[in-house]
């Protein structure tokens, strides 16, 4: 589905953000990318849709080699990759509906988008997507009138309007409170499951990642240092990714969370808290 | 900053004593230079005239009041013309300043090396010439009348508008633009969806502000023959008709107050 081969990025300042990264994400897999600040997580997902140009290496999505495309071909390829941002990156002064429909910009011509005359199919889809993320009441509000969790839902709906094959998600919960974070992560993972989407999620919160994803990749100093199921994240692994720290609390709680047979009270409480 | 130990205490000062002394010396030099310059500037002043000023001023005011209210009948049309010069000139400037602004802003210019310097040059040359001087040049090219005034206002305003708009463009939130780009939008669509909504409040504010300034500037364009109420002002001054001059001042003041109110409303509407 998504293949990165020998991907490297060196910024003009000389910082080597990515060093020879190889990664495969099969269709439908939700993958968390963890690592300390500055490890290159944001650079990695921005290299996939070439918001940041990689210095070396290949990005292949399906049969398309993204890194070999011209500007126009890249535009068309970007429609297949939905992106969700930490600070939501909504256009603050546009309405919720305009923000959601902007996910369709790659599919409509300039004047149609200028006069907000989107195809009825796209408008129908926008309404049903807003309904799915629980925002049908807020269609005509301006984006800056919404709360953090609501804004992120608009961001998710915008990405969905692209009808993507993969989601690139940059710290979706870093600006949200713990409960909203869980709701957002659950929404993202549910949508991925419903539509068979793959996702690469940059995330700081290791415990949150462990609750929801099938695979964790640890990035440290631009290199992949861990790749496995969430259950394999041990104290030693976390020390390798983040550095020396007391990881026992993180590891213990995760152990309970990943065992599906274990009816764990802590986990249930968390689920309930997130579901309210 | 400076640390000195006195027993158990650490003495803290923001700056070392040498810096404090240097700053004091700097201020001293500044004050001395100001006094010296004042001395040079007033060398040719005839002080008896200055001492006489209150009496002369009172005399002039005495001749200016009461205003000649009947003259208002002759001022409606020139005032309307003045407003039109300001408004049309501002509109021309807006149309021309927008592309210049997008070419001058670092984050939207097609080329930092070639296009940006040209745009900046347009901005600087437009701004460096006062609209009265533009009008003076244009009256000799286009002949007297309000058309020369409109073009003068327009040319002067391009630089002002383009400069403030391109600064607004450079201050936009890049992540919103990034998000629109990531959807596969074209450059023009990114401009309309990602950039334009962000600069709209600044754009509206800058345009009405310039319109407001242009009303004031167009009241004097008549002094060089470029139409508007300035023609009446000059005619009245030439014949020392002070009560008429007073009425012109009152009309200008009223118009400016009105334009202040309008621009405040417009700015409020676009936040």
How many other CB atoms are found less than 10 A from the CB of residue B123?
22
Q: What is the ipTM of this complex?
A: 0.85
**What pLDDT, on the 0 to 100 scale, is given for residue A263?**
44
Least-confidence region, from A93-97, A187-191, A247-251: A247-251
- Reported as a single tens digit per residue, the pLDDT across A168-219 is 999 999 888 989 999 999 999 999 999 999 999 999 888 888 889 989 999 9
Residues β-bridged to residue A61:
A2, A64
Position A259 confidence tier, pLDDT thresholds 50, 70, 90: very low
* Token pair belonging to B4: 């000195």
Q: Which fold has domain A1-80+202-276?
A: Rossmann fold (3.40.50)
Q: Is B183 in contact with A90 (Cβ distance < 8 A)?
A: no
pLDDT at A262 (0 to 100): 45
Structural domain spans, chain A:
1-80+202-276
Q: Has residue A20 got a pLDDT over 80?
A: yes
- The pLDDT score that the predictor gives to residue B268 is 86
pLDDT attached to residue A5 = 92
Q: Residues B90-132: pLDDT tens digits?
A: 999 999 999 999 999 999 998 889 999 999 999 999 989 888 8
The three-state (H, E, C) secondary structure of B140-194, written as one string: HHHCCCHHHHHHHHHHHHHHHHHHHHHHHHHCCCHHHHHHHHHCCCCHHHHHHHH
pTM over 0.90: no
Q: Is residue A269 pLDDT above 50, yes or no?
A: no
pLDDT at A266 over 80: no
Indicate the angle between helix axes B131-142 and B196-218, nearest 10 degrees. 70
Confidence band of B1 (pLDDT split at 50, 70, 90): low
Indicate the DSSP class of residue A216: E
The set of residues, in sequence order, having a beta carbon less than 8 Å from that of B168 and lying 6+ positions away, is B199, B202, B203, B206
Q: What is the pLDDT of residues B21-70, one digit of tens each?
A: 999 999 999 999 999 999 898 888 888 888 888 888 898 888 888 888 88
The verdict on B271 touching A (C-beta cutoff 8 Å) is no
Task: Give the pLDDT confidence of B124-172 residue by residue, as tens digits.
Answer: 999 898 888 888 899 999 888 889 999 999 999 999 999 999 999 999 9
For residue A267, pLDDT beyond 70: no
Closest in A76, A85, A89 to B184, CB measured: A76
Nearest CA-CA partner of B153 in B201, B96, B98: B96
| pLDDT attached to residue B63 | 85
Query: What pLDDT shows up at residue B131?
Result: 85
Residue B2 is predicted with a pLDDT of 62
Q: What is the interface size between A and B, counted as CB pairs within 8 Å? A: 79
Q: Which residues of B touch A113 (CB under 8 A)?
A: 185, 189, 192-193
pLDDT for the residue numbered A253: 55
Chain B residues inside the 8 Å CB shell of A105: 180, 183-186, 189, 193
Q: Which of residues 192 through 211 in chain B touch A, CB cutoff 8 A?
A: 192-194, 197-198, 200-201
- Name the pLDDT band for A271 (thresholds 50, 70, 90): very low
Lowest mean pLDDT among A76-90, A231-245, B191-205: A231-245
> Which pLDDT band holds residue A272 (cuts at 50, 70, 90)?
very low
The predicted structure's pLDDT at residue A215: 92
pLDDT averaged over chain B? 90
Evaluate if residue A69 carries a pLDDT over 50. Answer: yes
Residue in B with minimal Cα distance to A158 = B183
Q: How confident is the model at residue A157 (pLDDT cuts 50, 70, 90)?
A: very high
Check: CB of residue A202 under 8 Å from CB of residue A45: yes
Which residues 79-138 in chain A show a CB within 8 A of chain B? 79, 81, 83, 85, 87, 89-94, 98, 102-107, 110, 113-114
pLDDT band at B225 (very low <50, low <70, confident <90, very high): confident
- Give the confidence band of A264 by pLDDT, cuts at 50, 70, 90: very low
pLDDT at residue A255 above 80? no
B195: DSSP letter: I
Per the DSSP assignment, residues forming a β-bridge with A166 are A81, A198
């Amino acid at each position: 589905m998504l293949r990165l081969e020998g991907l490297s990025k060196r910024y003009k300042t000389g910082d080597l953000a990515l060093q020879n990264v190889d990664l495969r994400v099969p269709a439908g897999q939700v993958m968390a990318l963890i690592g300390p600040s500055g490890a290159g997580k944001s650079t990695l997902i921005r290299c996939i849709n070439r918001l940041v140009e990689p210095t070396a290496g290949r990005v292949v999505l399906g049969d398309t080699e993204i890194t070999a495309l011209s500007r126009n071909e890249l535009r068309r390829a970007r429609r297949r990759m939905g992106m969700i941002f930490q600070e939501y990156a909504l256009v603050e002064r546009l309405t919720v509906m305009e923000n959601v429909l902007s996910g369709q910009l790659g599919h409509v011509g300039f004047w149609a988008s200028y006069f907000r005359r989107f195809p009825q199919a796209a408008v129908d889809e926008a309404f049903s997507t807003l309904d799915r993320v629980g925002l049908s009441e807020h269609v005509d509000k301006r984006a800056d009138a919404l709360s953090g969790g609501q804004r992120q839902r608009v961001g998710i709906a915008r990405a969905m309007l692209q009808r993507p094959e993969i989601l690139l998600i940059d710290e979706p919960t870093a600006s949200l409170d713990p409960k909203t974070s869980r709701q957002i992560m659950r929404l993202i993972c549910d949508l991925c499951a419903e539509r068979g989407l793959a996702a690469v999620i940059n995330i700081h919160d290791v415990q949150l990642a462990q609750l929801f994803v099938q695979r964790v990749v640890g990035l440290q100093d631009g290199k992949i240092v861990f790749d496995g199921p969430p259950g394999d994240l041990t104290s030693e692994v976390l020390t390798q990714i983040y550095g020396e720290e007391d990881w026992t609390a993180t590891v213990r709680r995760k152990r309970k969370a990943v065992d599906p047979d274990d009816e764990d009270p802590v986990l249930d409480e968390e689920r309930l808290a997130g579901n309210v | 900053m400076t640390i000195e130990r006195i027993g158990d205490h650490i003495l803290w000062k923001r700056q070392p004593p040498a810096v404090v002394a240097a700053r004091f010396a700097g201020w001293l030099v500044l004050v001395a230079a100001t006094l010296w310059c004042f001395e040079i500037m007033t060398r040719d002043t005839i002080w008896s005239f200055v001492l006489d000023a209150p009496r002369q001023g009172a005399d002039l005011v005495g001749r200016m009041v009461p205003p000649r209210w009947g003259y208002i009948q002759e001022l409606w049309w020139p005032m309307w013309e003045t407003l039109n010069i300001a408004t049309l000139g501002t509109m021309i400037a807006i149309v021309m300043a927008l592309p210049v602004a997008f070419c001058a802003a670092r984050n939207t210019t097609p080329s930092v090396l070639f296009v940006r310097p040209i745009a900046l040059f347009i901005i600087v040359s437009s701004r460096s010439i006062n609209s009265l001087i533009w009008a003076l040049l244009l009256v000799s090219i286009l002949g007297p009348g309000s058309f020369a005034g409109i073009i003068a206002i327009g040319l002067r305003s391009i630089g002002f508008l383009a400069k403030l708009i391109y600064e607004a463009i450079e201050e936009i939130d890049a992540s919103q633009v990034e998000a629109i780009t990531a959807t596969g939008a074209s450059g023009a669509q990114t401009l309309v969806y990602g950039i334009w909504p962000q600069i709209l409040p600044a754009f509206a504010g800058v345009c009405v502000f310039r319109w407001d300034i242009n009303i004031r500037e167009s009241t004097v364009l008549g002094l060089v023959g470029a139409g508007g109420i300035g023609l009446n002002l000059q005619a009245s001054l030439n014949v020392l008709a002070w009560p008429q001059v007073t009425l012109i001042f009152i009309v200008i003041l009223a118009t400016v107050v009105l334009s202040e109110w309008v621009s405040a409303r417009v700015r409020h509407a676009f936040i």
